[in-house]
Amino acid sequence: MEDGDDLEQETGRAIYENCRIGTITCGTNQSMEISTPGKETVLHPGEEIGGVNPDEMKRLMIRRTIKEHLDKEMRFAEMKLPVKVLSLFFIDHVKFYRGRDEDGNRIKGKYALMFEEEYRKLANLPDYHTLFARIDLDVEAEEVHEGYFAVDKKGGWQEPTRKKNGELADNAKNRDNAERAYNLIMKEKEKLLSFDSKLKFIFSHSALREGWDNPNVFQICALRDMGTERERRQTIGRGLRLCVNQKGLRLRGFDINTLTVIATESYEQFAENLQKEIEKDTGIRFGIVEKHQFATVAITGEDGTPRPLGVEKSEQLWNFLKEKDFVDHKGKIQDSLRQAIKEKKLELPDEFSKQAGEIEAILRKLAGKLDIKNADERVTIRTREAVLESEEFKALWDRIKHKTTYRVEFDNDKLIEDCARAILDAAPITKTRAQFRKADIAIGKGGVETAETSQSGFTTINETDIELPDLLTDLQDKTHLTRASLVKILTESRRLNDFKRNPQQFIEIATEAINRTKRLALVDGIRYQRIGDDYFYAQELFKQEELTGYLKNTLETHKSVYQRVVYDSAGVERKFAQDLENNEAVKVYAKLPGWFTVPTPLGTYNPDWAVLVENDGEEKLYFVVETKGSKWWDDLRHKEGAKIKCGEKHFGALADTGNPAKYIKATNVADMLGHG
């Protein structure tokens, strides 16, 4: 830019019509004159004309954080969960939250004033009247928030010193001041979790020191730029903890343990930047399929003995993925592969069909990403009263609502024999191997670019002084078998020498072999029995238990118990719901909610659908349907497949009426109707 430049011409944007650059001053007093119709304005670094007021943006973020906090409190109250909700603000300057006047008295900064104003406004809304009945909001607004900042020896708040790049300086003064703030908040840690303390909103200058892991932080608001990798990860890490109730017990489940981050970036950018920073700091390459990725996958040789797939075949499989545009030339996983995996539509060459399950499991791990969703799209799903109260749905529910108990019978000697055989037949154990990878690095205007040029073969590392881990204790933790049983299994497997060769690989293979064999034995020997007429899932739970979803993962419906169906798979589940809506034979149905579970030795099982079909206005068919994109469910080596088999036996135990609900497995509605 130069004196006299026309901003509209320079930028090509009509918004700058009749705006000209005036005198530009450099040096210590940097400034620039802007000439607009009827006005001359002098701007200094950081100032602007006609832009968004940064303080208004901060106010909106504070307001949104309070709203998310109150919504969480309301939800926990409806669920009758005794969990204290905390929110955490990270601010750019201490003086913006707390300061002192000329007499040394503490005064509120602009963030504290914004917070209290917005807190009172939201608390007065009808949506939250049950939270604030008989509460003095003027007092409440002051008592629910507090700041924790670096403290000097006199007890005064201090701004930590920073390097030129914005990172906190690692000096003695910063460490000492931070230590005092850390000790202060640690004294309050237990009190913060109690309903006896009114403190719910915490303001801090920077990411609190490691060790402050209060588990009940559900909202984090970044009022300052978290630009460095360390600060960003520390920031989000404050909310990645399992919450505790008033008895100190950890609670699990995504519906409860959801962290909401309020930041100036879009949520997609936040996730992307976080991943980039972790990759840069740790060297981990997310979402990359290496050419040798499948070399250790176990196959059966021509002589019937197990062996690894090998590097050559692994590269052949990698080239197939590249040809299908599932990965790019660097091995980076594309969305097409994620979609194929999610919808169970990944098809591999015939020669890899027997290893498809293991290969898909490897790809699923590599393709995974943080489950981050846009809070603006979150909606509460209401029930459709006409369907819920209908005689058709009542008849369907009466056939599936009852609870069962189970017992497992199996031959212990046979289980030990089968476990030993599974270990004996497992893939061979290799010694520890190393591989060198060579790449060219070029630094240009586009940044740092790397290109892998070669890979060495694998070199065996002969380790003569391996410190062997406690094999029995490790396997006992992972398989839950007694030490006596494990000793017998390992002895009969005749592969203990492999443990000395590569301890970690042996433990992994033995664990998988034993647990897979256990699953087969458990499912084969499980017997379900209906508890009684007084133990069932009440139909009223559809109203009492709140269901939430995100707009892009829901489908508006008319025959369902809920006004919208929440689906995980955009392919299988969405298509199934659409087909249920469109099929005239389907009268009512429900995507079974998370609270409807079947107990199994492998954890609870939640079936997918309950459906009522009426043929020609006469015969009524009642179904409980499990939907998947492929028919792998019959492979009981998979934990989910074993749970599905248990679900089948559970509903079999309820089939004591003349027209019971059938438990079926289907990939689409046509499959389901074929069971009629």
For residue range 513-562, list pLDDT tens digits in order.
998 898 888 888 999 999 988 899 999 988 888 788 888 888 999 999 99
Residue 326: Cβ within 10 Å count: 22
Q: How confident is the model at residue 444 (pLDDT cuts 50, 70, 90)?
A: very low
Model confidence at 458, in pLDDT bands (50, 70, 90)?
Answer: low
Q: Which helix (H) or strand (E) holds 146?
A: strand 145-148
For the chain, what are the domain ranges?
Answer: 7-43, 54-280, 285-367, 380-403+532-673, 409-512
pLDDT tens-digit readout, 266-322: 545 555 666 666 566 555 566 788 888 888 888 877 777 778 888 888 999 999 999
Residue 443 has what pLDDT? 40
Residue 117 pLDDT > 90, yes or no?
yes
For residue 639, is pLDDT > 90? Answer: no
pLDDT over 50 (residue 152): no
Distance (Å, rounded) from C-alpha 241 to C-alpha 211? 12
pLDDT for the residue 295: 85
Contact by Cβ (8 Å): 559, 588: yes
**633 CA to centre of own chain:** 24
Could you tell me which residue, 236 or 497, shows the higher pLDDT? Answer: 497
Separation of first and last alpha carbons in the chain: 77
Q: Which of 18-27, 221-230, 414-423 has the lowest mean pLDDT?
A: 221-230
Taking CB atoms within 8 Å and a gap of at least 24, the contacts of 617-623 are: 619/676, 620/395, 620/659, 621/662, 621/676, 622/395, 622/396, 622/399, 622/400, 622/659, 622/660, 622/661, 622/662, 623/661, 623/662, 623/663, 623/664, 623/672, 623/675
Task: Tell me which architecture the domain covering 54-280 has in CATH.
Answer: 3-Layer(aba) Sandwich (3.40)
pLDDT of residue 153: 45
- Who contacts 500 (Cβ-Cβ below 8 Å, separation ≥6)? 466, 468
- What was the pLDDT predicted at 103? 78
Q: How many other CB atoms are there within 10 angstroms of residue 244's CB atom?
A: 17
Least reliable range by pLDDT among 63-72, 131-140, 511-520: 131-140
Under the banding of pLDDT at 50, 70 and 90, the label for residue 465 is low
The pLDDT of residue 308: 85
Q: What is the mean predicted confidence (pLDDT) over 52-72?
A: 86
Q: Which of 167-176, 490-499, 608-617 comes out lowest in average pLDDT? A: 167-176
Range with lowest mean pLDDT among 64-73, 410-419, 625-634 = 625-634
Burial class (CB in 10 A: 0-12, 13-18, 19+), 590: buried
User: For 327, which DSSP code?
Assistant: B
Tokens of 435: 């591989």
What local confidence, expressed as pLDDT, does residue 211 receive? 42
Mean pLDDT of the chain: 79
Percent of the chain with pLDDT over 90: 24
Q: Which residue is associated with the tokens 């309950």?
A: 610
Quickly count: other Cβ atoms within 10 Å of residue 646's Cβ. 22
Tens-digit pLDDT profile for residues 478-492: 888 999 999 999 999
Q: How many whole angstroms from its chain centre is CA 227?
A: 23
Q: What pLDDT does 180 receive? A: 45
Length, in residues, of the chain: 676
Q: Calculate the dihedral angle through the C-alpha atoms of 86, 89, 94, 100, rounding to the nearest 10 degrees.
A: -50
pLDDT at position 445, please?
A: 34
Q: What whole-number distance in Å separates Cα of residue 183 and Cα of residue 180?
A: 5
Give residue 390's pLDDT. 94
If DSSP codes are grouped into helix, strand and coil, which group holds residue 556? strand
Please, which pLDDT band fits residue 373 given cuts at 50, 70 and 90? low
pLDDT range class, residue 177, cuts 50, 70, 90: very low
Cα 96 from Cα 589, distance rounded (Å): 55
**Triad 96, 101, 103: Cα angle to 5°:** 160
Q: What is the pTM of this model?
A: 0.53
Predicted confidence at residue 210, as pLDDT, reads 43
**In the structure, what pLDDT confidence band is assigned to residue 646 with cuts at 50, 70 and 90?**
very high
Q: Which CATH architecture has domain 380-403+532-673?
A: 3-Layer(aba) Sandwich (3.40)
Q: Which of the four pLDDT bands, split at 50, 70 and 90, describes residue 335?
A: confident
Residue 186 pLDDT exceeds 60: no
Mean pLDDT of 344-371: 81
- pLDDT computed for residue 188 by the predictor: 64
